[in-house]
Structure 1
């Protein structure tokens, strides 16, 4: 089989005969001629000849698609608006291909401007801002995750954080930079410096109330507040447990 060469005006491309295996060189050559005007002759009896614009050469399906409609009178017009009469031809049924004319190769900025679909300008400044914002948000979320604390402690932190400015300091919960809640995070474990007695009394009442809510959910229950702090595989296990209790099916 003759070796395929890069197509030029008037060149012929060697192709396999009927029933043969698709020629990879032919596909490669045709792929480089997308948009060219070509003439294809089939090997199927009776032989047929198609002349038109090469739309695509698919190496997966081993076929070519040709638009045999006449090109628009104004070459500068949008090709998407041009009429189409497409023919799908298997490579194995092509006897030969003749490239009549090569497609115009846009260069420089004009090539991008005429690309279809249109390629818009990428706002890299905005992308960097979004990236930095997302990184800052992830870091902020990470500071809300207690290290070496129980699920109940994290649930209490999440509840307090919704009402006050809460942060972790080791395993201690700091509320409004005034009250410290230490393990095991009961009301009597709250302390505050002198002058913050009123805030301390208030936080103790809130902690006591939140602990009662947590206890009412059951000692073995997982709290929705803590799901965001767990790895994905642990979250899936929690969902499975909920599905079993509620007799519902949840697609994970």
Structure 2
């Protein structure tokens, strides 16, 4: 009888519960609280180091992706306007980045009330497709310009010279490893003033390009010298 009890006890493994274990993570608590405020107008602040505050209508709080979407576009008419008919400017924010949020007004313009948060309904705004398409086209154009302005197989100094011409708004483009300025002057490697070539009827433009090139190369050299001096460590001063 005693042996049987000892054998039964030996087959059981005690599983201690960790002391003070939280019932849910802070992120889940934040997501649950935001889920009850869908449709409300809120002010949400993200955590450091890139802290930012958003104010707008809480569109959704997704428990699967752990993100919230907030529409910061203000209604184009009075407070009584149908929010669902208004265009949107949406921001997707990970819940882990949410530092704090404050409910300003519930759906329909009512003031914040803890008792009615759970009953608030989402105000779904229409997406401004035209504006999104414009932003997409602008981004694509910018990426194409950046790609076009990057020299292929050129030195860091050559790219710096090219960028300096762009900064002072002189028309310049790459043709293989040569720079074409004003569609009239060719700057060939290694990009010195004597490497500039132009037609006989473009001597004035050629001289101007040479002068700019010499000035920019001088500035680059001075900048490199300053950076080298700054990077050179100095020994400890003697005498305290």
The TM-score range, normalised by the shorter chain, is 0.3 to 0.5
Instruction: Output the TM-score relative to the length of structure 2.
Output: 0.46
Scaled by the length of structure 1, what TM-score is found?
Answer: 0.44
